[in-house]
Amino acid sequence: MPPAGAAAGSGRACPLGICDGSGWIIGPEELARPCECRAERLRRARTRGIASVIPAKYRGVSFERPPVTEIEPMVVRVVRAFSEEIDANLDAGKGLWLMGDTGTGKTTLAMLVSKTALAAGRTVAIYSLPKLLARIRRTYDAVPGEESYLALFEQLTSVDLLHIDDLGVEKRSDWVLEQLYALVNERYEAQRSILVTTNLDETRLEEQIGPRTVSRLVEICGDPLPLFGEDRRISVGGT
């Protein structure tokens, strides 16, 4: 049963247009049953605190103007097609892997995908690999009441899209290999999408994060989308 007064409305509209916004539907004899929107709201509550804000540098990016219009057209077409079907792709657990030289637009295109997912109302976690690993490390020293490792792991594995920038830049260690494999494998088994950017080709990435993790990334994301060329951050002010 909902708490007293819940059925009268919560001030938030039901995204499905079914309940009064409380997450509950009152039936015959004043018996309540959960609305279909309740599971989604609970899932979103579990992912609060995850980094899901597009950095200021990328908030104005668009497929219609530079720097995106100056990035390799074949790759842009693939990323745009993925973004135009964002709900279907996330529901199917499909992802993208952008690979290539520094400053060729990988992060810009990845942020466009995450921006599209957020606009569609999906949950997204956005981290560079060093920041992600630093956040995991902090949970090891957590005191009662602070975020635990298990709570963070559940958040990272339950969002609709996990966006990891600069995969492979962290110094290789058994701990790094273990963390990345656990995270990628859990999302692989749950059929949840991953979006990654890396400067390393597939062979070098296997050396850095392990062949098991890379194998699962290929299953989720398909073959890497290559972006090579000059560093546009130097030549045109950055991507």
Q: What is the CATH number of the domain that holds 193?
A: 3.40.50.300
Instruction: Give me the pLDDT at residue 29, please.
Output: 54
Same-domain status, 28 and 75: no
Instruction: Give me the pLDDT at residue 17, please.
Output: 74
Same-domain status, 62 and 32: no
Same-domain status, 131 and 225: yes
Tokens encoding 218: 């290929």
Same-domain status, 41 and 51: no
CA dihedral 213, 215, 219, 223 (to 10 degrees): 110
Residues in the chain with pLDDT values less than 70: 1-12, 22-33, 37-52, 145, 229-239
Beta strands 32-34 and 24-26 are antiparallel
Same-domain status, 62 and 25: no
For the stretch 120-156, pLDDT in tens is 999 999 999 999 999 999 888 877 767 789 989 999 9
Three-state SS at 59: coil
For the stretch 82-91, pLDDT in tens is 999 999 999 9
Same-domain status, 31 and 122: no
Is 203 inside any structural domain?
Answer: yes
Q: Residue 15 is part of which domain span?
A: 6-45
**Euclidean distance between CA atoms 64 and 79, whole angstroms:** 13
Same-domain status, 14 and 96: no
Same-domain status, 34 and 59: no
Q: How many structural domains comprise the chain? A: 2
Residues 6+ apart with CB under 8 A from 78: 96, 225
Is 1 inside any structural domain?
Answer: no
**Euclidean distance between CA atoms 159 and 109, whole angstroms:** 20
Beta-bridge partner residues of 195: 96, 163
Same-domain status, 214 and 133: yes
Is 94 inside any structural domain?
Answer: yes
- 163 within 8 A of 201, measured Cβ to Cβ: no
Is 185 inside any structural domain?
Answer: yes
Is 91 inside any structural domain?
Answer: yes
Instruction: Give me the pLDDT at residue 239, please.
Output: 45
Tokens encoding 21: 């916004």
**Euclidean distance between CA atoms 127 and 133, whole angstroms:** 9
Is 173 inside any structural domain?
Answer: yes
- The torsion angles phi and psi of 118, rounded to 5 degrees, stand at -65, -40
Placement of tokens 């409305």 in the chain:
9
Going across the sheet that includes 96-100, the strands are 124-128, 161-165, 193-198, 96-100, 225-227
CA 44 → CA 34, 39, 49, 115, distances in Å? 16, 9, 10, 17
Beta-bridge partner residues of 225: 98
Is 76 inside any structural domain?
Answer: yes
CA 184 → CA 72, 99, 129, 179, 235, distances in Å? 28, 17, 13, 9, 35
Same-domain status, 27 and 132: no
Beta-bridge partner residues of 193: 161
Is 54 inside any structural domain?
Answer: yes
Same-domain status, 105 and 126: yes
Same-domain status, 152 and 92: yes
Instruction: Give me the pLDDT at residue 20, please.
Output: 76
Placement of tokens 């492979």 in the chain:
168
CA 155 to chain centre: 11
